[in-house]
Amino acid sequence: MKTQTLVLVAIFLFLCILAGAQPYTIVSLTPEDGLPTLEINDITQTPDGRIWIASRSGVSSYNGIQFTNYTLKDGFTYPVQSFLSLDKSGVLYSLADDRNITITRFENGRWTPAIPEPDSIPFLVLVTGFRILEKNGNPVFGFSTLSHGFYYYDSVWNHITNEKLKAEKISALEIYRNHFILGTDKGLIEVADDAVTHTISKLLPKPEEQIYSLSAGKEGSLLVVTLTRIGKITDNHYSPFCNTLADITSYNSFSRGISLKNSFNDLFVGDEMQLFLYPENQCKGIPFDNLRGSNAKGITCIFEDKDQNTWIGSNRGIHVLYPSNFLTYNKDHGLKEDEITAIEELQPGVFVLGHNMGFTIFDGTPPYTYYPLTREKEFTIHTRIQDMTKDEEGNIYF
C-alpha cells in the first residue's frame, strides 16, 4: 500500500502547482476512476492498508490504483450498505439499513451474515451510527437510530428505548473508554452494559445541549460538536476548541452531522448540505467547496488513513486530501518528460522511477540518470513499467 500510495501521489503532484498555495492537494474519485457510484456512505481502512467504501451499490475496496466492487452476488442481502466498522482484531463489518438491519462480515472474499437480524425493529428505520467495542474478548455490536433508541448485540439483541434514554433523537454514536456514547437532543448519554448514565454530559458547558456530531480521536479523546460550540473530552475533562460556532447555518435532523480533527489539527464539520474546514486555532470555517479541486458542498462521511490522508465522502463521490508539505519534482527540476508509472526505493534517499519508456534513478540532486527501455524512433514499441518490487537483498524487479 505504501508504494501504491506513492504512485498515486506522484501522478497528482502537478495538481499542487495548479492549485496554488493550498494546505492540501485534493484528488477526486468518481465512477470514471472505477468507483461504482457517486453516493458514498462510509469509509474505513483495514490493517492491510486497503481503503473500504460503503455506498448505495455495495462495498468497494481500493488499493491505491483500482477498485474491487462487492455487490449482491458477493453475499449481501440488500444492495445499499450504510456503515463500516472494524473489530479489535481488524475484521471488517458492514451494516445495511436499506429495508431491514443486516450486519455482514468480510471473510475469504465474500460477505456473510455476522449476527442475527434484530427483532421487533421498525421498517425502514434511520440508523445514525454503527460501532463495535470489545467485551471479554468478544465483539459487541451497537447501532443508534434517529428516533427508535439504541440497539446492541452481546450474544443477544438488547434495545434501549427513548424512554429509558430520556431523549427523543440520537444524532451520533461513538466509543469512548470502551463504552458506547450517544449524541442526542438531550446531550451525551453513556451506555455500559444495560446501564444508562448522563454523567459524561455534565462535562459540557451546557449538559443538555443538542449534539450535532461526535468523533473519536486517535489519542483517546472524544470530539463533541453542538450547534453552538466545538470541544473535546480527554480523561473526563472538557476543553473548548471553538465557543462560537456560527457557520452551521441550518440543521436538518434527518441529515447526520459529521466531524473529524485530523493529524494536522484541522477540523472538518458538516452534513449533507454543508461542509466547513476549520484550520488550527481558528473559529471561522472555510466552505469546503471554496478549496481548489473540490466540488462537494456537503459530506456523508470522513476518515483519516494511516498515511494522514483525509478521505471525504459525499453524494458527489470521494475527495482525498493529501498533505502538501512535500517538494514537487517535474521536468523543470531535471526529470524526463515522461509519466511516472511506478516508484520503488533503491536505498535510503534513492528511488527508481518507472516510466512509459524507461526508468530514472532519482536522489533529489540533478542531473538524474535515465535508462531508456525503448530505442529512439521505435515509437511503435513501448515497454511501460507497470509496477516494481524489491526483494530482501535489495534487488528491484519490474
Q: How many CB atoms lie within 10 A of CB 202?
A: 12
Nearest to 29 by CA among 47, 16, 11: 11
- All three cell numbers of 227, joined, read 450547534
Cell of 391: 526483494
Phi-psi region of 281 (alpha: psi -120 to 50; beta: other; left: phi over 0): left
**pLDDT-derived band at 183, boundaries 50, 70, 90:** very high
pLDDT confidence of residue 153 = 97
Give dist(CA 357, CA 384) in Å, integer: 6
DSSP lists the bridge partners of residue 213 as 225
- Asked if 286 and 240 count as a contact pair (C-beta separation under 8 A), the reply is no
Neighbour tally for 119: CB within 10 Å = 8
Cα dihedral 366, 369, 375, 381 in deg (nearest 10): -90
d(CA 40, CA 25) in angstroms, rounded, equals 21
Judged by average pLDDT, the poorest of 35-39, 137-141, 225-229, 244-248 is: 244-248
Q: What is the mean pLDDT of the segment spanning 165-182?
A: 96
Q: Mean pLDDT check: name the lowest of 44-58, 148-162, 378-392.
A: 378-392
294: confidence class by pLDDT, cuts 50, 70, 90: confident
- Cα 341 to chain centroid distance, Å, stands at 26
Q: How far apart are CA 175 and CA 360, in angstroms?
A: 48
* 127 SS3 class: strand
Q: Is 171 left (phi over 0), alpha (psi -120 to 50) or beta?
A: alpha
The three cell numbers of residue 392 are 530482501
pLDDT of residue 106: 98
* pLDDT per residue as tens digits for the range 223-268: 999 988 999 999 999 999 887 666 676 666 667 899 999 988 899 9
- Identify the CA nearest to 293 among candidates 329, 322, 330: 322
Query: What average pLDDT does range 91-101 have in this prediction?
Result: 92
Beta-carbon contacts of 121 under 8 Å, excluding residues fewer than 6 positions away, are: 100, 101, 148, 151, 159
Q: What is the pLDDT of residue 317?
A: 94
Phi-psi region of 55 (alpha: psi -120 to 50; beta: other; left: phi over 0): beta
Residue 123 DSSP label: T
Give the SS3 label for residue 7.
Answer: helix
Instruction: Map out the domains of the chain with their CATH numbers.
Output: 22-323 (2.130.10.10), 331-397 (no CATH)
Return the number of other C-beta atoms located less than 10 Å from residue 50's C-beta. 18
Read off the pLDDT of residues 338-389 as tens digits, 9 standing for 90 and up.
678 889 988 887 889 988 888 899 887 888 888 888 665 555 556 788 888 8
Name the residue type at position 129.
G
Q: Supply the pLDDT for residue 296.
A: 78
Lowest model confidence (mean pLDDT) among 15-24, 93-102, 158-167, 351-360: 15-24
Report, as an integer, the average pLDDT of 83-105.
94
pLDDT value of residue 370: 86
Average pLDDT over residues 302-323: 94
- Residues 52, 104: Cα–Cα separation, whole Å: 14
Q: How high is the mean pLDDT of the chain? A: 86
Task: Say if residue 21's pLDDT is above 50.
Answer: no
pLDDT at 16: 35
Query: Quick one: cell of 64?
Result: 491505491
Predicted local confidence at residue 98, as pLDDT: 77
Q: How many CB atoms lie within 10 A of CB 264?
A: 16
Q: Are 260 and 222 in contact (CB under 8 A)?
A: no
